Structure 1
Amino acid sequence: MMVALMIGNIFHKFNIHWIPESLVVIFFGAILGLILRFLPGASGEFKLEADAVINEDLLVHLFLPIIIFEAGWSVRNKEFISQLPYILVFAVLGTIICMLVVAGLLWVTKEWHSVKTVRLCFTYGALIAAVDPVATLGTYAHLNVEPLLNILVMGESIINDAVAITLFEV
């Protein structure tokens, strides 16, 4: 994590904005995961899969509220309310359309993968439909884009998570 943060700071210092910091963190996380997976002792007493289990209740009731609270706390209320109709169109309709497209494509291509039931197609579609614009928001912060565009993207990100969780639970 420290290496990823240092590289992110180097990118910021040299004005390299075309590589998001979140991509650097994901890249180094993947490298570290591969190293841990193929360590000589990883096959016996140390199993990465056994140690990396996160309980669903812990995720939904502890981590998710913290993330949503922070996002809601940092948004500017007046601008958020002024853009709410547009945010809702993108968040609700966009998430539902994305879920339907993903579920439909999974159903059409069911012979090529292990997702075989309509319910599982819709469940996966709901799970994958909420795309978080982490890299977009980070880039917006560095490039000082129009504040209302930033509010629109941030608000859509907050609301589409709730829509996707609702679709997933249904």
Structure 2
Amino acid sequence: MNHKHTKTTTEFSNKKINMHLNRKLSAAIIAAFLFTLLFCFMPGIKESIPNFSIKKTSPHFIDLFPLYLLFFTPFFLIMGTLGTVIVDLLVSAFVKDRSKKIDFIMSFIFHAIFGLLMFEFGMMGVILIFIVDRILSIRKENYSYLSPLGCLVLSAIIGTLVYFIFTIV
């Protein structure tokens, strides 16, 4: 009987870790999408990187949205997910009596430290992933493997539509 209880506890623990990781992956994909939008629409970005624009008349590289999305998504998936998991582990190591307020502040501080290591664009990305992860953690508690997959598919569909719109127009 005790063996069965241990197995159930382990299964519950694994399920909780998987849901947590699926939320982190979903947050990374959504943050990559939002970061790409910001990157395409922010004034000043156009002058700070070489002009690879297909159509020189498009505002702030929106025609390169799919390419940026393709570039940023894997980066956010790997670095963003890994970073937020590391931050969660650091917060749990430093804060023994976890209250939501202390957890939030410490998490933000550690995210900011990671963001500073990657300069201004990294800081924007880290802030986005922090905000999206917090919103997702408040909004919904069950995240299956379909959650990040759905976010990824939706992001790819929107990127493809933008590509076709700028290719046709």
Q: TM-score range by the shorter chain?
A: 0.3 to 0.5
TM-score of the aligned structures, taking structure 2 as reference length:
0.32
TM-score of the aligned structures, taking structure 1 as reference length:
0.32
Identify which of structures 1 and 2 has the higher relative contact order when contacts are C-alpha pairs closer than 8 Å and 6+ apart.
2
Structure that is richer in helix per residue: 2
